[in-house]
Structure 1
Amino acid sequence: MDRYAATTINRRLAAISGLYSFTGLRDPNAINPVPRGREARWLVAGERSGMLAHTRRRRQPRSALRLREARTLPVALSAPDAAALVASLRTWRDRAIAGLMLWCGLRSCEVLGLNVTDVDIGGRWITVTGKGAKQRRVPLDPDVGAVIDVYLLAERPESDSDRLFLVAKGATRGQGLTPAGLRTIFRYHREISGVTGGHPHALRHTFGTVLAEAGVDLAVMQALLGHAHVDTTARYVHLAPVHVKGEFDAARARLRNQAR
Structure 2
Amino acid sequence: MRVVDDGVDLRGMESNDSGRLRLEHDGDHWCLVGEGADQLGLVDEYLSHLGDRNYSPKTLRAYGFDLVVFGRWLLGEGLDLEDVTTPVLLRFLAACRAAWLPGRPGPNVVDLRGRRLDGYAATTINRRLVAVSGLFAFRAMRDPTLPNPVPKGREAHRVTPGGRTGLLAHLVRRPRPRSALRLREPTRLPRPLNVEEATRLLGSLRTWRDRAIAGLMLYCGLRSCEVLALDIADVDIGRGWLRVWGKGARERAVPLDGDVAQAIQAYLFLERPESDSTRVFLVSKGPHRGQPLTAAGLRTIFRYHRGLTGVTAGHPHALRHSFGTALAEAGVDLAVMQTLLGHAHVDTTARYIHLAPKRVKEEFDAARARIRRQV
TM-score (norm 1): 0.84
Would the alpha carbon gap of residues 5 and 102 (structure 1) be closer, same or farther in structure 2, given more than 3 Å must change?
A: same
**Letter of the structure 2 residue corresponding to residue 152 of structure 1:** L
Instruction: Return the alpha-carbon distance in structure 1 between the equivalents of residues 179 and 331 of structure 2.
Output: 40
Please state if 1:169 is matched with 2:285.
yes
SS of residue matched to 1:136: strand
Instruction: Return the alpha-carbon distance in structure 1 between the equivalents of residues 179 and 284 of structure 2.
Output: 50
- Corresponding position of 1:45: none
Higher relative contact order (CA 8 A, sep 6+): 1
SS of residue matched to 1:196: coil
Preserved CA contact (<8 Å) 1:129 1:136: yes
Please state if 1:179 is matched with 2:287.
no
1:212-238 deviation per Cα after TM superposition (whole angstroms, max 9, x unaligned): 111111111111111111111111111
- Corresponding position of 1:127: 243
Trace 1:1-260 onto structure 2 (pairs within 5 A): 1=97, 3-24=119-140, 27-34=143-150, 41=155, 62-250=178-366
1:176-213 deviation per Cα after TM superposition (whole angstroms, max 9, x unaligned): 11111111111111111100000000000000111111
Point out where structure 1 has 5 or more consecutive residues left out of the alignment.
43-47
**Letter of the structure 2 residue corresponding to residue 184 of structure 1:** T
Would the alpha carbon gap of residues 222 and 20 (structure 1) be closer, same or farther in structure 2, given more than 3 Å must change?
A: closer
Instruction: Return the alpha-carbon distance in structure 2 between the equivalents of residues 20 and 182 of structure 1.
Output: 37
Deviation at 1:11, TM superposition (A): 2.4
Would the alpha carbon gap of residues 144 and 230 (structure 1) be closer, same or farther in structure 2, given more than 3 Å must change?
A: same
1:26-60 deviation per Cα after TM superposition (whole angstroms, max 9, x unaligned): 64222222257xx9748xxxxx99xxx9xxx9985
Preserved CA contact (<8 Å) 1:14 1:34: no
Instruction: Return the alpha-carbon distance in structure 2 between the equivalents of residues 166 and 33 of structure 1.
Output: 47
Would the alpha carbon gap of residues 14 and 227 (structure 1) be closer, same or farther in structure 2, given more than 3 Å must change?
A: closer
State percent identity of aligned pairs. Answer: 68
Instruction: Return the alpha-carbon distance in structure 1 between the equivalents of residues 269 and 300 of structure 2.
Output: 25
Point out where structure 2 has 5 or more consecutive residues left out of the alignment.
1-96, 99-118, 157-165
Would the alpha carbon gap of residues 80 and 158 (structure 1) be closer, same or farther in structure 2, given more than 3 Å must change?
A: same
Preserved CA contact (<8 Å) 2:272 2:282: yes
SS of residue matched to 1:138: strand
Would the alpha carbon gap of residues 130 and 247 (structure 1) be closer, same or farther in structure 2, given more than 3 Å must change?
A: same
Preserved CA contact (<8 Å) 2:151 2:180: no
RMSD: 2.8
Preserved CA contact (<8 Å) 2:151 2:181: no
Instruction: Return the alpha-carbon distance in structure 2 between the equivalents of residues 229 and 255 of structure 1.
Output: 37
Instruction: Return the alpha-carbon distance in structure 2 between the equivalents of residues 105 and 218 of structure 1.
Output: 15
Instruction: Return the alpha-carbon distance in structure 1 between the equivalents of residues 142 and 239 of structure 2.
Output: 56
Instruction: Return the alpha-carbon distance in structure 2 between the equivalents of residues 253 and 19 of structure 1.
Output: 58
1:100-122 deviation per Cα after TM superposition (whole angstroms, max 9, x unaligned): 00011001011001011111112
Preserved CA contact (<8 Å) 1:107 1:204: yes
Would the alpha carbon gap of residues 26 and 75 (structure 1) be closer, same or farther in structure 2, given more than 3 Å must change?
A: same
TM-score (norm 2): 0.59
Deviation at 1:4, TM superposition (A): 2.8
Would the alpha carbon gap of residues 92 and 160 (structure 1) be closer, same or farther in structure 2, given more than 3 Å must change?
A: same
Deviation at 1:146, TM superposition (A): 0.7
Instruction: Return the alpha-carbon distance in structure 2 between the equivalents of residues 103 and 58 of structure 1.
Output: 34
Would the alpha carbon gap of residues 35 and 101 (structure 1) be closer, same or farther in structure 2, given more than 3 Å must change?
A: farther
**More deviation, 26-35/178-187:** 26-35
1:75-109 deviation per Cα after TM superposition (whole angstroms, max 9, x unaligned): 10011001111111111100000000001100101
Instruction: Return the alpha-carbon distance in structure 2 between the equivalents of residues 137 and 27 of structure 1.
Output: 43
Preserved CA contact (<8 Å) 1:17 1:35: no
Q: How many residues align?
A: 244
SS of residue matched to 2:179: coil
Would the alpha carbon gap of residues 58 and 234 (structure 1) be closer, same or farther in structure 2, given more than 3 Å must change?
A: closer
Would the alpha carbon gap of residues 35 and 138 (structure 1) be closer, same or farther in structure 2, given more than 3 Å must change?
A: farther
